[in-house]
Structure 1
Amino acid sequence: MSNLSRRHWLKTAAAGSTLFAGALTTAHATPIEPMPQKWDETFDIVVIGSGFAGLAAAIEARKAGASVCVLEKMRTLGGNSIINGGIMGVPGTPMQKKQGYKDSPELMAEDMIREGAGLNHPDKVLHLCREALPTWEWTVKELGVDWVQERVSQEGGHTVPRCAILKGGSGSEIVNKEIAKLKELGVKPRTRVFMEKIIRDADGRVKGVQVREGYKFPDATSGKVKFICARKAVVLAHGGFGADVAFRSQQDPKLTEKVGTTCQPGATSEAWREAARIGCHMIQTSWIQCAPWSAPTEKGMGIALFFAQGAAAMYGVWVEDKGGNRFVNELANRKVRSDAIMVYLNKGGHCYAVADSTGVQPMTVSRPGLLEKQLERKCVRRYDTLEALAAGEKINLEGLKKSIVEWNHAVETKKDDHFGRYVNPHAKTMGKAPWYVSEMVPKVHHCMGGINTDMQGHALDIVNDKPIPGLYAAGEATGGVHGAVRLGSCAVTDCIVYGRIAGIEAAKEKAWC
């Protein structure tokens, strides 16, 4: 960069972007697929994926009178949704009002766009936020989902606490209720059915899928090839690619095999590649989120995150070991916090979440028995004194004490002078033993980019940005909602809001046969 002026570099970058865009727009985005001699099965709607979005789409399409088939490539249903952390971003719930937090859809949208670095599509964000409360109510009235009534939690980047908490402690509470609703409607999602190809005809319309039934992940040659006709539409709700090291490291070279993931093993790229192959406009795919709060001793998502976020980030402190200092706003967005932790990890340091017995109390109320599980797994550790904690974890004691004094001052004055962290009005000063701690490492968590869609959930064509006839998409398979950073709890809202829309709109399509 030293041999290039900034102006010259900008001109070069712009020229490169134009060439790249030209290469894309001259691509043939309406491929002629050899139509099968016969279809093995026919449905109005074929849904790919069995997470929040896919199941919501299937429910709404079936309620609209369409015949529906839900296909899942793994042995079990639910994808990442079933191991989701169990919170949903919703402004205006009874629980939020009970705790006295003032909120609005507009404030939530402002938070999402600010933290998303303005890469979000504003119309999609505002619609999501306005539909969040009616969608939460739908989970209660339509599905019978059970939510914690005593409180809401706060994830990084949210101006106020607005995260409704699932009583079951994970996304399985929603997924299982969605599956039960589909059973009531006469639809049984199928497992071990891998979508190998989206069949887009010479007229540009998607008319079905080629699958492998009896698929054994990850063997792409396993299973029997079948052709399933979608008389009205295919809905892509296949999720992200966080577990696909080869694909994700092409998008972001830092995300090598050395970086773990919270995703289930089936979060791979096959459906992404296939959507691109048949002409879907894929946007912002290099924006991949790492979650900051996982414990290095746990595989996948784990359970330490509920302590690091729900106790320490809200009512305690995050510190680094060498100096014992707070090193980041504990309620900053996930990218800011993950990047801050990476700085210390790259220097051979370690980062910890710390809370006292008062700080863990809200977590124990909303998630009974969880603290005991965390201690049993040793992903969270308990100490009788702060001195014992510092010695046991090799954290600088004097620095740790100063960090706690700093935070206690913020609680007393309702202002964090150091990092500008939100001070929860229910927070109390730290100092009551026993003390609790967990170590934190970032792990690949969520893909913000994906298929570009319109407000009705149509997948858009790379050549002209017009809807691809017979193709819809929702959830983590899509882009444009979260921008550079997804706020915690907003994935559930996104998936269910736009999953329902995709199902409703797909059912309105005129059948092609």
Structure 2
Amino acid sequence: MSNVDLLGRRNFIKGMGAAAGVAIATPAMAISEKADGVKWDKEVEVLIIGSGFAGLAAAIEATRKGAKDVHIFEKMSYFGGNSAINGGLFAAPGTPMQKKEGVQDSVDRMVADQMKSGRGVADEGLLRHVAEHAVEALQMTMDAGSEFHPYLQQLGGHSVARTYQTTVSCGAGITQPLYKECKRIGVKTHNRSKFEGFIIGEDGKVEGVKMREGYYFKEEDSGKVVYIRAKRGVIAATGGFAQNINLRMAQDPTLTSEVGCTNAPGATGEGMYEMFRIGAIPVHMAHIQSGPWASPDEGGFGYVSNYSIYNFPHSMAINRLTGKRFMNEIADRKTRADAELSCRDEKGEALPPILITSYKHSKKHPNTKKVIKYNVGWKFDTVEELAKHFEVPVKPLKAQIEEYNSYVKSGDDKQFGKNMTKAKDKFIEAPFTVVRLWPKVHYCQGGVQITTKAEVKDSFTGQPIKGLYAAGEVCGGVHGVSRLGSCSIPECMVMGMTAARSVMEA
């Protein structure tokens, strides 16, 4: 594949939003260049774009494998990317805590759960690779100083409890220790450095990048462009595009600016765009996941999300119009998000459902106090008080509570087939805590296609683009239609580590 062929594809992605009549010129696009005649401003051994889970894990692993000059470039003023405000939930099979709690799990079981959620179009090879190395990645976080709650959680779509959560209940509990470890081992980090394009050699190999140093977010001409050569290779760990309203609307016109988003402002997709331009294969771009645990009463990920994730297994989700349950509270994300979106009033207007939990059980999660303190959740002493506040018919609500509690007692949910293992002995009793639920755009399953070695595949040849690797949410096709919660951190970290190994072996 010649350099001219690669760079001749710049118009390829212009048509991605055309059918929807949507302009996708925001954010400003990078433009790759030929290496011939380029004057390099600096040279590094391993160049990593993005400082989230994938980028940080890649930097640590590359250093462990012998790299002496590893550089991370982050476009925002702060490090950690969208990962820093992630929920801090990490799924892995065969962990020490599972053994301690007597949970029977395996790589095969975790992969099977993910394949089911992916609706038949997930990449089994990549899921298996991640599952096989998830414990190794979890150990990297612990070695760096990450701390986790002393219990496992069973998230929606998982057949067993296999999820750890950071004690700070967010991704910063992992990104900050990993960042500190990077600094300790000599990784060079650069913030306010915006990726501006790849530099392509005569043989089609990615030789380096254009980087705008001193960049201020959304001030596209700020800073200075420099050319950086990467001796071993470039790892793109640039994240998803959930904050790029035009691009997500091109895939799903219902995801307008009125739909909330849990992502950091920098999740706009430039790195993914540019990989498409030089030949990467776009996969599953229309599969954009909304989080069913989000609240319409706060911005972003907020406090309610982790509160809900923890409490779903022993709570009831209620349609306020009927006073009845309407879903399996721990089904996969898409199933629950679709069910929540169907909750409407008599006029068809959105009527966010409520999640009811016994306070004595909900208070075990640290976010409960904050949810109540900041008025994004409520505490009630009686069913009547709760029903009046949310205008829920009290008679069917009382009947539903009685019916649900019978399932807690029997261990068999005859309404929706919910796995009641984590609900054992946790009856819905006063006083109650209640939050409102409404999905928010959370994760983009679409992105560039990669191999199990984190190589970026070329759309014409099917072969890897030389010198280029990718990891994390910028990659597509891994999870299929719906990603299971707590599976993004292991994917990001394992594929970041894999990319580093591939770079060092190239």
Partners of 2:217 and 2:350 in 1: how far apart?
36
Q: Which residue of 2 aligns with 1:441?
A: 438
Answer with 263-272 or 394-403: which moved more.
394-403
TM-score (norm 2): 0.90
Q: Which residue of 2 aligns with 1:392?
A: 389
Q: Which residue of 2 aligns with 1:472?
A: 469
Matched, 1:329 2:331: no
Q: Relative to 1, partners in 2 of residues 1:422 and 1:36: Cα closer, same or farther, differing over 3 Å?
A: farther
CA contact (8 A) 2:204 2:466 kept: yes
Report how many aligned residue pairs link the two structures.
Answer: 472
CA contact (8 A) 1:414 1:425 kept: no
CA contact (8 A) 2:409 2:424 kept: no
The SS at the match of 2:335 is: helix
Matched, 1:90 2:92: yes
Q: Flag structure 1 segments of 5+ consecutive residues without an equivalent.
A: 1-19, 21-30
Q: Which residue of 2 aligns with 1:172?
A: 172
How far does residue 78 in structure 1 lie from its aligned partner after superposition? 0.8
How far does residue 36 in structure 1 lie from its aligned partner after superposition? 5.0
Q: Which residue of 1 aligns with 2:53?
A: 52
Matched, 1:320 2:319: yes
Q: Which residue of 2 aligns with 1:72?
A: 74
Amino acid at match of 2:51: S
How far does residue 468 in structure 1 lie from its aligned partner after superposition? 0.6
Partners of 1:307 and 1:69 in 2: how far apart?
36
Amino acid at match of 1:480: G
CA contact (8 A) 1:197 1:210 kept: yes
CA contact (8 A) 1:407 1:429 kept: no
Partners of 1:414 and 1:489 in 2: how far apart?
25
Q: Which residue of 2 aligns with 1:11?
A: none
1:413-458 deviation per Cα after TM superposition (whole angstroms, max 9, x unaligned): 1111111111025532434322110011111000112111111111
The SS at the match of 1:477 is: coil
TM-score (norm 1): 0.89
Amino acid at match of 1:82: A
CA contact (8 A) 1:316 1:359 kept: no
Correspondence list, 1:402-441, <5 A: 402-425=399-422, 427-441=424-438
1:205-249 deviation per Cα after TM superposition (whole angstroms, max 9, x unaligned): 001111111111112222111111111110000000011101111
Q: Which residue of 1 aligns with 2:498?
A: 501
Q: Which residue of 2 aligns with 1:121?
A: 123
Partners of 1:271 and 1:396 in 2: how far apart?
50
Partners of 2:37 and 2:360 in 1: how far apart?
64
Partners of 1:76 and 1:408 in 2: how far apart?
47
CA contact (8 A) 1:315 1:428 kept: no
Partners of 2:225 and 2:422 in 1: how far apart?
58
The SS at the match of 2:439 is: strand
How far does residue 296 in structure 1 lie from its aligned partner after superposition? 1.1
Matched, 1:483 2:484: no
CA contact (8 A) 2:46 2:230 kept: yes
Q: Which residue of 1 aligns with 2:34?
A: 33
How far does residue 480 in structure 1 lie from its aligned partner after superposition? 2.5
The SS at the match of 1:134 is: helix
Aligned-residue Cα RMSD (Å) equals 1.6
Partners of 1:195 and 1:392 in 2: how far apart?
50
The SS at the match of 2:235 is: strand
Matched, 1:351 2:350: no
Matched, 1:103 2:100: no
The SS at the match of 1:441 is: coil
CA contact (8 A) 1:359 1:430 kept: no
Q: Which residue of 1 aligns with 2:306?
A: 306
1:288-328 deviation per Cα after TM superposition (whole angstroms, max 9, x unaligned): 100011111211100111222211x1111001111111111
Sequence identity, in percent? 36
Q: Moved runs in structure 1, 4+ residues, more than 6 A?
A: none
Partners of 1:309 and 1:402 in 2: how far apart?
25
CA contact (8 A) 1:36 1:227 kept: no
CA contact (8 A) 1:63 1:185 kept: no
Partners of 1:37 and 1:337 in 2: how far apart?
52
CA contact (8 A) 2:313 2:423 kept: no
How far does residue 191 in structure 1 lie from its aligned partner after superposition? 0.9
Q: Flag structure 2 segments of 5+ consecutive residues without an equivalent.
A: 1-18, 20-31
Amino acid at match of 2:125: D
The SS at the match of 2:109 is: helix
CA contact (8 A) 2:130 2:490 kept: yes
1:167-192 deviation per Cα after TM superposition (whole angstroms, max 9, x unaligned): 12111111011111111111232111
CA contact (8 A) 1:249 1:256 kept: yes
Partners of 2:491 and 2:412 in 1: how far apart?
32
CA contact (8 A) 1:89 1:490 kept: yes
CA contact (8 A) 1:308 1:354 kept: no
Partners of 1:393 and 1:426 in 2: how far apart?
25
CA contact (8 A) 2:153 2:163 kept: yes
Partners of 1:268 and 1:110 in 2: how far apart?
31
Partners of 1:231 and 1:34 in 2: how far apart?
13
CA contact (8 A) 1:101 1:160 kept: yes
How far does residue 76 in structure 1 lie from its aligned partner after superposition? 0.7
Q: Relative to 1, partners in 2 of residues 1:425 and 1:338: Cα closer, same or farther, differing over 3 Å?
A: closer
How far does residue 269 in structure 1 lie from its aligned partner after superposition? 2.1
1:125-146 deviation per Cα after TM superposition (whole angstroms, max 9, x unaligned): 1121121122222322x31221
